[in-house]
Amino acid sequence: MRRRLSTVLLAAVTIAAFTPAANASENLDSATIPALQQRMAAGQLNAVRLTNAYLHRIRTVDHKVRAVLRVEPDALAQAAASDARRKANALRGPLDGIPVLLKDNIDAGVTTVGSRALLSSRPAKDAELVRKLRAAGAVILGKTNLSEWANFRSTNATSGWSGVGGQTANPHVLDRNPCGSSSGSGAAVAASLAQVAIGTETNGSIVCPAGANGIVGLKPTLGTVSGEGVAPISHEQDTAGPMARHVVDAALTLNALRIKPAAAEKATLKGARIGVWRKAGLDKDTDRVVNATVDRLRANGVTVVDVELPYLDQTGKHSLDVLLSEFKHDLPAYLATRVGGPKTLEELIRFNTKDPVELSKFGQELFTQTLAAPPTTDPEYRRKRALVTDLSRRSIDETVAKHRLDAILAPTNSPAWKTEYGQGDAFVLGSGGPAAMAGYPNITVPAGAAGPLPIGVSLFAGRDTDARLLAYAADLDKLQPARLTPRYLPTLPR
């Protein structure tokens, strides 16, 4: 369900009001937060005009992409308050006046996790990360669609579909999939519907949509960003993180989201040792992009070492089992914080069975498997969780130590597949698993393309290396700028 924009918003200025340049859309696409703040400081722009520009983009572009579920009715009032702070010389930081979209599993106003069952309930309060964004002066622009229940309802789910929002499209080629549960956040940022968006990840759900939509996505170290007020799958793996068109915007947003402040790291790729986990032979276009990235790194003074990560067969064997038990524990605790609506998984299953939309595309096998999962007090669950976490961390830590690495680089995604229903996602490759299960940071940046479809590469390393990875990602983005402005093609050219 989409909230109709008010008459005021429908009369919003065009993007040309945001910048005097001829190609205003392109400038909105390429503007960074520091550049926007410079324009506002110079009196060439204000938060109301910037917010209006993004609202105009949503109104005129999002009918193709279906990334935005709702626009906040007070978005312009938030922007006006930012402009008042600027006049009073009381700005709250670099995010003040910057429009941000939230994935709809993050509590703020109407929050549905994509499920029609939650349309009748409301969060009791904003999520902690939303309170931090508001404290930083950000304009909460609205909510993005997601894969319903963060892609944890069916083994045959199609990414980007929810009962509330329908199907989100990949803005580069509209019949292609946006990937991952943060699909709406990734597609919205790629389509310049907000300056940044917040996604969440349990295993790949920030980095995959960032890669497939051709933007930057950071999954922080577990515990860097508060999970309070975020609909869960697993407290052992879930984290929110920024999705942006520019690395600097992701870094500034992470600083606003952090539970504790952290110093920036002045790391550079030149002179670094980077391990490359190629995942070669699965997709020729991805292989080509990785090879070109390696050549560029070597040409710019980076030592590149080919690596393979150990223990992945063992961690993969138990990864779903532990998530089922954790979902069984964490979901009722989250539902209990909401006012009204279902409080148990059994109630959700019954609702879906009777609803005309919820099971129209795929089922709820993971919900029913969760009912049968052992509790988190079960000794066998505890053994499996310890094994998954320990071996995932060792797979990265031991590889880094063995080859004296500063980080590991891997392909984030193969080109986006055609969106279809019945058999689930036609997923070819991904590299997010080890960092996700370890609770370690992982950042993806655009690296190339297969025709109009973006391909990203990821950088990951050990715990609390977020600042170093951001610095490396910024360097890589400068060495090989590869982000594509979406063309909204109906399908791939023949």
Q: Based on the number of CB atoms within 10 Å of its own CB, is 347 exposed (0-12), middle (13-18) or buried (19 or more)?
A: middle
181 is annotated as an active-site residue: yes
Q: Based on the number of CB atoms within 10 Å of its own CB, is 45 exposed (0-12), middle (13-18) or buried (19 or more)?
A: buried
| Nearest residue to 250 (alpha-carbon basis) of 23, 477, 481 | 477
- CB-based burial, 410-448: b 16+ in 10 Å, e otherwise: bbbbbbbbebeeeeebeeeebbbbbbbbbbbbbbbbbbb
* CA–CA separation, 351 and 332 (whole Å): 15
Please state, as a whole number, how many other Cβ atoms lie within 10 Å of the Cβ of residue 351. 18
SS3 content of the chain, % helix, strand, coil (to 5): 40, 15, 45
* CA–CA separation, 372 and 325 (whole Å): 9
Is residue 57 within 8 Å of residue 486, measured between CB atoms? no
Element (H or E) spanning 27, and its range?
Answer: helix 24-30
Is residue 133 within 8 Å of residue 95, measured between CB atoms? yes
For residue 316 the two structure tokens come to: 């993969």
Provide the residue type at 79 as one letter: A
Q: Write the DSSP assignment of 356-417 as a string of letters.
A: TTTTSS---HHHHHHHHSPPTT-HHHHHHHHHHHHHHHHHHHHHHHHHT-SEEEEE-BPSPP
Is residue 2 within 8 Å of residue 34, measured between CB atoms? no
* CA–CA separation, 13 and 165 (whole Å): 26
- Catalytic residue (choose from 159, 205, 325, 395): 205
- Catalytic residue (choose from 115, 147, 159, 181): 181
- Catalytic residue (choose from 103, 219, 328, 361): 103
* CA–CA separation, 345 and 347 (whole Å): 5
319 is annotated as an active-site residue: no
* CA–CA separation, 200 and 203 (whole Å): 9
The residues annotated with a catalytic role in the active site are: 103, 181, 205
